[in-house]
Structure 1
Amino acid sequence: MGRLGADFWRLWSAAVVSRLGGGVASAGLPLLAASLTRDPRQVALVSVFAGLPWLLLALHTGALADRWDRRRTMWLCDLASALVMAGLALGVLVGAASLWVLCAAAFAAASISTLFDSAGQAALPSLVARDQLPAANSRLYTGTVLAGLFVGPPVGSWLFVAHPAVPFAVDAVSFVGSAALVFAIRSRFRAPESSGTGLTREIGDGVRWLWRHRRLRSLVVLLTVWNLTETAVLGVLVLYALERLQVPPSAYGLLLTGVAVGGVLGAAAAPRAERWMGTGPLIVVTVALTVLADVGLALTRSAVVAGLLLGVVGVAAFAFNVVSSSYRQSVVPDLLQGRVSSAYRFATWGIAPVGAALGGVVAAGAGLPAVFWGAAAVLAVAGLATARELLPARLAVDTPS
């Protein structure tokens, strides 16, 4: 396996800069929502709007990513995201940031992200060799976790206390930096020529290819349920921290560093762990760890214990992300990379608004711990249902069947 090229490291730097700003804003957004209302259903509404674009737009933006120059698409998306975050910062500064403004900003930012992420996922296999994908994804996830979850949220919490507009201004600046770095990439990532059959037909080609691939189909089912439970938890996590754990707002981001530390460890260790135990068994282990962590979060009232358990969640989630993304990128033809990736994310991320809404409803009706108990139970069932299909021998088969 050779060295990763300069263009990969430009892409890596862009992702890290962008995720640093996103991590700062990720702490500011729920804190701003919680400052407007303590109703868990309304707080979770911001997460609902952030998830809707993956349900409404992901299939179309994935097809566009297979039509357009992926490099140009990414830096234009970065500039558009910078405008959205700058607008939100201005709204907070002048006192016009209502809950619905937050929802609109979350929807707009996520809509742009559906196109950026599809283009970025499709571009990576053009930058590195197939056998380098696990290492490349490991470095990408490690860098973005450090920036977006370890550094960003604590800084974002502190900046929010200093002034609520600052986290969003910082995010806007980070998008400009990311755009400059993507623009500097020499490769153009121009997608193969379109078949000319129309956008709807091209979307259908990607969806059908994904559905016929049994291993990827099983991963879609598992990750869809996983994200359903995760977004249910994330939708009320700020209230869980403030009310059940009694964490002050300035320390909310610090609590999230547990996810960051675990995420770095999981992403860094994933390639070696995959070689040691195989892709399928590693996926099963990540699911089991997440179920156990959710049970622990339901039981504890200690911020320290919760931080450690969130670390376990981070280990599992990012180890899974590295191995599953590498597997998907290695088996999908370049012509279909954007469409298959978007179809995959349409299901797995499109479920996010449902999960966020469920989390708010369950927390309002049965209390915050019930969200974690429900997440553990549902994910355990999904893990058992898909475990047989995700055996190493089955994952080694890389053509639709």
Structure 2
Amino acid sequence: MTTSLGPGFWRIWATQTLSIIGSTVSGIGVAVHVYVTTGDARWLGYLTAVAAAPAVLVSPFLRRLDRVPRRSALIAGDCLAVTGPLAALLLVWLGQLELWHLVVASAATGVGNAVQSPALSAAVPAVLGNTHPQTLAKANSLFQLGPAAGIVLGPAIAAPLVAWQGLSAVLLLDVVTFAVAMAATVATPFADLPTESSGTGTGANAGTVTDDGSWRVALRWLRTDGRALVVLLVAIGVVNLCLAFFNVSILAVSLDVGGVSWAGLPIALGGLAMVAASLAAPLLGLARRPVRVAAASLGLTALGCVLAASRPSLLVVTLGVMVALAPMAVVNGGIATLFHTAVPTSMHGRVFALRSTIGRSLDPIGAALAGVVVAQVAGPAMAPGGALAGSMGRL
């Protein structure tokens, strides 16, 4: 079986990457607009929380991801995700946008992402036309370039674009890149891989499964052959809790130490490090030992978090973010490859939806908590006269 990536994959990958960049620019632009308008880090936490919450709330309704064609599910998720920025853009043009509108728009986008993310993950084998582990490792590593490129370009574009052209510019960019991705998805044929009763994965745990497309069958498989994946899902949830806290805190810290013009630099260079890690990931043996490589990468992420918090210097914060974010591209690619090869193909939609739900279930808590801690606990405590002014405050 060939391990090359076909033209259909490259078309979907390129346009989805472009759309992710547009969405990242939009999301960061909205966050910068809100923070500059309110001066309150709690609003950053609220926006992140309401965007992440739908991944938990919508999951029980996503069993149909395995009952419809992969392309149809992907189109539906994309259409739902664009409703938030499109509505916000119209309100800006009408001169009626208020802060709470952006919170509602973030929630609407979160609903779309809750559908689009597992739909795209489940569609990877159909876009490739095969389930060869080496091919999947290459494809999953490349798909990490989308978020990474978004992190590189998003802050670099969003902050100055909002400062110069206003919020409408970043929202319009999001809508236009969505339209490009939608056109490519409609034009690209997807392979007709098994999705009903005889789908099997390619890993040692996959086996042959009689699947009626229900949650009952998928959960029963996870309780038996897929028990190790459940443990991994819980671990991912804890990691994402910490990263949600980290992401909100870093944006606030970057704005404080670098100002609006330079606030995007740490995250942008962190994304550049993710791009490099995504390109190098296939060389690390993801197809052969994804868990071991992911575990080692998480250790580097923890080191980066400590480094970013060590000094109120834009240089130190930037280096810490680079060390923290680069390994996450390897972690995400390795885990996606593991799930593609271990989970029966007919269950990919439901299991990837469950993976997104558990993996992001603690995101809203981490994001909301980060905003409160930064604004009401850590900041005052380290300020002159605060409880930590003589210790952490000196840093």
Query: What TM-score, normalized by structure 1, do the two folds share?
Result: 0.84
My pick for the range that moved more, 171-180 or 6-15, is 6-15
Residue 24 of structure 1 corresponds to which residue in structure 2?
25
Q: Which has the higher helix share?
A: 1
Residue 137 of structure 1 corresponds to which residue in structure 2?
140
Residue 115 of structure 1 corresponds to which residue in structure 2?
115
Residue 389 of structure 1 corresponds to which residue in structure 2?
none
Among 343, 352, 356, the alignment partner of 2:367 is 356
Residue 85 of structure 1 corresponds to which residue in structure 2?
85
Runs of 5+ in structure 2 lacking a partner? 199-211, 383-395
Residue 377 of structure 1 corresponds to which residue in structure 2?
none
Alignment check: 8 A CA contact 1:26 1:153 kept: no
Q: Secondary structure at the match of 2:5?
A: coil
Alignment check: 8 A CA contact 2:277 2:329 kept: yes
Alignment check: 8 A CA contact 1:299 1:369 kept: no
Among 219, 231, 234, the alignment partner of 2:232 is 219
Deviation at 1:276, TM superposition (A): 10
Task: Give the distance between the partners of 1:68 and 1:346, measured in 2 at CA.
Answer: 20
Deviation at 1:281, TM superposition (A): 2.9
Runs of 5+ in structure 1 lacking a partner? 372-401
Distance change >3 Å, CA 92–CA 202, structure 1 → 2: same
Deviations 1:325-347 (A, max 9, x none): 00111111111101111111111
Residue 346 of structure 2 corresponds to which residue in structure 1?
335
Alignment check: 8 A CA contact 1:150 1:261 kept: yes
Residue 216 of structure 2 corresponds to which residue in structure 1?
204
Residue 5 of structure 1 corresponds to which residue in structure 2?
6
Among 156, 160, 165, the alignment partner of 1:158 is 160
Distance change >3 Å, CA 356–CA 291, structure 1 → 2: same
- Pairing 1:245-324 to 2, within 5 Å after superposition: 245=257, 247-274=258-285, 278-324=289-335
Deviation at 1:183, TM superposition (A): 0.6
Alignment check: 8 A CA contact 2:273 2:325 kept: yes
Task: Give the distance between the partners of 2:73 and 2:250, measured in 1 at CA.
Answer: 33
Q: Which residue identity does 1:363 align to in structure 2?
A: V
Deviation at 1:218, TM superposition (A): 2.4
1:229 counterpart = 2:242 = yes
Aligned-pair identity (%): 26
Task: Give the distance between the partners of 1:369 and 1:277, measured in 2 at CA.
Answer: 48
Q: Which residue identity does 1:74 align to in structure 2?
A: L
Q: Secondary structure at the match of 2:116?
A: helix
1:346 counterpart = 2:347 = no
Distance change >3 Å, CA 81–CA 143, structure 1 → 2: closer
Task: Give the distance between the partners of 2:123 and 2:319, measured in 1 at CA.
Answer: 35
Distance change >3 Å, CA 228–CA 291, structure 1 → 2: same
Task: State the superposition RMSD in angstroms.
Answer: 2.6
Residue 149 of structure 1 corresponds to which residue in structure 2?
151
My pick for the range that moved more, 318-327 or 134-143, is 134-143
My pick for the range that moved more, 27-36 or 233-242, is 233-242
Distance change >3 Å, CA 275–CA 140, structure 1 → 2: closer
Distance change >3 Å, CA 133–CA 275, structure 1 → 2: closer
Alignment check: 8 A CA contact 1:69 1:191 kept: no
Deviation at 1:189, TM superposition (A): 5.3
Aligned pairs, how many? 364
Deviations 1:255-287 (A, max 9, x none): 311221121122122221136993333222112
Task: Give the distance between the partners of 2:193 and 2:289, measured in 1 at CA.
Answer: 34
Q: Which residue identity does 1:229 align to in structure 2?
A: C
Distance change >3 Å, CA 278–CA 333, structure 1 → 2: closer
Deviations 1:49-106 (A, max 9, x none): 0011011002322x12111122022224323433431221222344433332111111
Distance change >3 Å, CA 80–CA 284, structure 1 → 2: closer
Deviations 1:281-312 (A, max 9, x none): 32221121111111112212111221121111
Task: Give the distance between the partners of 2:221 and 2:380, measured in 1 at CA.
Answer: 40
Deviation at 1:154, TM superposition (A): 0.9
Task: Give the distance between the partners of 2:271 and 2:48, measured in 1 at CA.
Answer: 20
Deviation at 1:118, TM superposition (A): 1.6
Task: Give the distance between the partners of 1:94 and 1:239, measured in 2 at CA.
Answer: 30
Distance change >3 Å, CA 231–CA 87, structure 1 → 2: same
Task: Give the distance between the partners of 2:176 and 2:214, measured in 1 at CA.
Answer: 35
Q: Which residue identity does 1:261 align to in structure 2?
A: L
Deviation at 1:370, TM superposition (A): 9.4
Deviation at 1:155, TM superposition (A): 1.1
Task: Give the distance between the partners of 2:323 and 2:313, measured in 1 at CA.
Answer: 15
Distance change >3 Å, CA 286–CA 369, structure 1 → 2: farther
Residue 391 of structure 2 corresponds to which residue in structure 1?
none
Distance change >3 Å, CA 259–CA 7, structure 1 → 2: same
Deviation at 1:2, TM superposition (A): 2.8
Alignment check: 8 A CA contact 1:70 1:189 kept: no
Residue 252 of structure 2 corresponds to which residue in structure 1?
239
Deviations 1:142-199 (A, max 9, x none): 24422x111232112221112121101110111111100111111265772489xxxx
Alignment check: 8 A CA contact 2:77 2:119 kept: no
Alignment check: 8 A CA contact 2:85 2:174 kept: yes
Alignment check: 8 A CA contact 2:83 2:105 kept: no
Query: What TM-score, normalized by structure 2, do the two folds share?
Result: 0.85
Distance change >3 Å, CA 64–CA 275, structure 1 → 2: closer
